[in-house]
Amino acid sequence: MALLGAMLFGSAAPLSKSLLGVLSNFHLAGLLYLGAALGVSLILIREGTFRLPWKIPRRNSLRLLGAIVFGGMLGPIFLLAGLRIAAAASVSLWLNMEMAATVVIGYFFFNDHLSKKGWLASLGILTGTVLLAWGGGVAGFKAGGFVALACICWGIDNHLTALIDGISPAQSTFWKGLTAGSINLILGMLVAPIPFSSEIIFSALALGAVSYGLSILLYITAAQHLGATRSQLIFSSAPFFGLLISLFLGEALSLLQGSAFILFLGSVFVLFRESHGHNHLHESFTHLHMHVHPDEHHQHEHPEGVAAIQRHSHEHAHNTIEHNHPHWPDLHHRHGHSR
């Protein structure tokens, strides 16, 4: 899911470049995220799972609010500001900074433990990022600064959304897209009217539905199972897919770009060779998220006729338990580690 999300997100930068010739940064950011909301709304309608965000636990409401501000409003504005003054290929390559931002923020602020293999994988991807950026050339410190700010915002967003357990990934994506998209579009229209072109507006909404809506949905789902840092390591392949689109449009593949691709594949291989397990304590708590039985954390009973072996979502309680098994920093494993 994280890899497919990366493929879809990677297409956003090169495909957004042409739309910036007609739309302002705020107009395009608003339409892209409204398109994201529109895309996942079809899933919510099919599932009948529209849930108001202010009716979930307060801590999750605050996390969703933070994700809306950093991930839905500020992140795309900074990205489009950089995209406006730099080549799409260069911006695509710089987006690998999101992985570095997610790793650093997760390690220091979100109890997201990384083993030596995890750090080695991070180093490999960072090295690949440097090679890709070197091969893409310098498009300007100003553009790079805007993209770096976008990546920091999305790094914060990644961890906040990975911890939201009161609503489903589709609901989280819907409210982020609807709220952030509406605000950015309104801000853009206060400065200048949006150019009326049904073709342009439809293109922006469709791009948002696929590259942001479906992509974010896939990423959040993966992050809740793998943790934000590991999901982001996989998701950091998005710039490479953006580069592939540039190659499809006629650019040549350099030796540095090919070397970076090999480094990325090797780093992901190292990441999935990682095994992290130790004795840890789960305090009793109640939450809501998608899960399946049986596993070591979901032993509760269901009403007669409910197929517990199928993936389902409902509010459930966890009793206090202490055990030892391999795990990643998912919704149930946010304990601290000795460093």
Q: Choose between 300 and 193: higher pLDDT.
A: 193
Q: Is the four-CA dihedral 216, 221, 227, 230 of positive or negative sign? A: negative
Q: What is the mean pLDDT of residues 46-62?
A: 73
**Residue 251 is which amino acid?**
E
Q: What is the mean pLDDT of residues 2-21?
A: 88
CA 238 and chain centroid, separation: 10
Average pLDDT, the chain: 77
Alpha carbon distance 119, 130 (integer Å): 16
Q: 280: which strand partners?
A: 323
Which has the closest alpha carbon to 101: 227, 215, 228, 219?
228
168: left (phi over 0), alpha (psi -120 to 50) or beta: beta
Instruction: Rounding to the nearest 10 degrees, give the CA dihedral for residues 26, 80, 154, 41.
Output: 50
- Residue 303 — pLDDT band, cuts 50, 70, 90? low
Helix H or strand E encompassing 18: none
Alpha carbon distance 195, 201 (integer Å): 9
- Residue 333 — pLDDT band, cuts 50, 70, 90? very low
**Residue 186 is which amino acid?**
I
Alpha carbon distance 299, 26 (integer Å): 47
Alpha carbon distance 267, 129 (integer Å): 12
64-73, 240-249, 252-261, 318-327, range with the lowest pLDDT: 318-327
**Residue 77 is which amino acid?**
I
Q: Choose between 92 and 73: higher pLDDT.
A: 73
pLDDT over 80 (residue 241): yes
